[in-house]
Every structure is written in C-alpha cells, then in structure tokens.
Amino acid sequence: MIMFMNLLVPMIMFFFGVMVFISNRKHLLSTLLSLEFIVLSLFIFLFIYLNLHNYELSFSMMFLTFSVCEGALGLGILVSMIRTHGNDYFQSFSILLC
C-alpha cells in the first residue's frame, strides 16, 4: 500500500500541474511556475523509481541540472519580455512583432 502511495503522489502532482498549465494562460510567470511544478513532480517520480530498482542516482542529478537550466532560460525570456513590452501578459504582444 505504501508503494502505491509513493507512486500515486507524483502522478497526482503531475496532473495538477498540467491542469494549472492548461487553465491559466494569462501571465507568463504563472505558466513558468506550473512548468516547474511539473518538472518537480517528474523528479520525485524519477527519484522514487530509481530507489525502488536500486539504480544509481546520478541520472537524477543530471535531470536536476537540466531542469535548473530550463528554469533559468524561462526567467531570461520573462525578463526580456518585461523589458520590451512592460508586462508579462500574453495578450499585450504579437508573435509577429517579436
């Protein structure tokens, strides 16, 4: 039962993150936060899976490294968008102007 709960919690976190990502499209920052929540749930699932099968955890460290790089790239895009457009609303800019 505890094994099932360990695998159920990251899946529920993943689906909640996907639901927030789908439903909230107004601000870029909230979209980036929901993507980071999805990555965190995937990391927890990966960590539990690797511990169950007694694998090395070096792949989880590599996954964390790439997720931090993804977060930094998203924040860089957010800062450049705020500098050029003044806010982080998706409605205030057009793809053709960027």
User: For the segment 82-93, what is each residue's pLDDT rounded down to a tens digit?
Assistant: 888 787 776 766
Q: In this model, does residue 98 exceed pLDDT 60? A: no
CB atoms within 10 A of CB 38: 19
**Is pLDDT larger for residue 79 or for residue 7?**
79
**2-85 CATH pick, 1.10.287.3510, 3.30.200.20, 1.10.10.60, 1.10.1370.30:** 1.10.287.3510
- Break the chain into its structural domains and give their ranges: 2-85
Mean pLDDT for 15-34 is 87
pLDDT at 39: 94
What is the overall mean pLDDT for the chain?
85
Q: Which residues are within 8 A (CB) of 45 and not within 5 positions of it... i.e. 6 or more apart?
A: 7, 10, 11, 14
The secondary structure of the chain in percent helix, strand, coil, rounded to multiples of 5, reads: 75, 0, 20
Closest CA to 33 of 6, 70, 60, 64: 70
Q: Residue 2 — very low, low, confident or very high, per pLDDT cuts 50/70/90? A: low
